[in-house]
Structure 1
Amino acid sequence: MFYLLLILNLFLTDGNVPSSPKKANLKVDIQNIKTLKGSVFIALFKSGTEFPSGKATEGKKVDANSHSVQTTFSVEPGEYAVAVFHDENANGKMDKGMFGIPKEPYGFSNNFRPKMSAPKFSDCQFTVGNDGKSISIEVK
């Protein structure tokens, strides 16, 4: 019986047992909020997702009660991109005008400003390492 327990213990404490991945903090600071009403929506995308129109990996909604707002995501280290918009009229969606041009302030990581079409993931991509990352996005 002792040998059986010893063998089982060896299998259970083997270094090959998968552990949960280490998480890092991604701090996102949103700047240039002009009107202090409504909410700021922050969408986090992981590499390989349909950015910026697909389903976000994670999203947050923060009250626009200051000219800058902050939030933190707990993520696995890797490649990410962020899309943000200020829902000034609090209707829960990005209002768009003719040809789909946004009527409300928006921004992307790396402060990338698209010219004629939506940005690509690679335009807004950044790396979150084991020690975390802080980024700042200016909405316009």
Structure 2
Amino acid sequence: MLFLLSTLSLFLTDDPYSSSPPKTNLKVDIHNVAQKKGAVYVALFRSGKDFPTGKPTEGKKIDATHSQLQTTFSVEPGEYAIAIFHDENGNGKMDKKLFGIPKEPYGFSNNFRPKMSAPKFSDCQFSVDHDEKKISITLNGF
């Protein structure tokens, strides 16, 4: 009898062997896409994951067809940061001037505007919980 009750309780509770936490949608609105050519690259980073120039947790490439764009990531709850750049000339990389200053439009979550160096994760960090999250990033214009 005890065995039967234990077995039934497995079907009435969450799967104890499930390895991945539930995910939610993270919607990213991108504003100020001045040139309708090339592509916009969106890099999503988790805490401590080489932000902003390393390998992102997930990335997306969006054709720059409108002045405002949107993309959605399916993410686990946690701390994240986003780095975006608009590859206007379509060469697949962020073109830079002397001293590494970007030539092409870019943006970060929290609309953080770096002064003299690349931002830290904590500058651009935001939290995602179990509810859908929507953020807005405005690209720097040149």
Normalising by structure 2, we get a TM-score of 0.88
* Percentage of matched positions with identical amino acids: 66
2:24 — aligned with what?
A: 24
Distance 1:15 1:111 in 2: 39
Question: 1:114-129, aligned counterparts within 5 Å?
Answer: 114-129=114-129
Q: Is the 8 A contact 1:77 1:132 kept in 2?
A: no
Deviation of 1:96 (Å): 0.6
Superposed CA deviations along residues 54-100 of structure 1, whole A, max 9, x for unmatched, are 11000000000000100000000110000000000000000011001
**Length, aligned pairs only:** 137
Gaps (5+ residues) in structure 1? none
Normalising by structure 1, we get a TM-score of 0.90
Distance 2:30 2:135 in 1: 9
Superposed CA deviations along residues 31-50 of structure 1, whole A, max 9, x for unmatched, are 00111000000000001211
Give RMSD over aligned pairs: 2.0
2:48 — aligned with what?
A: 48
Paired letter, 1:18: Y
| Structure 1 residue ranges (4+ consecutive) displaced by more than 2 angstroms after TM superposition | 5-16
Q: Whose Rg is larger? A: 1
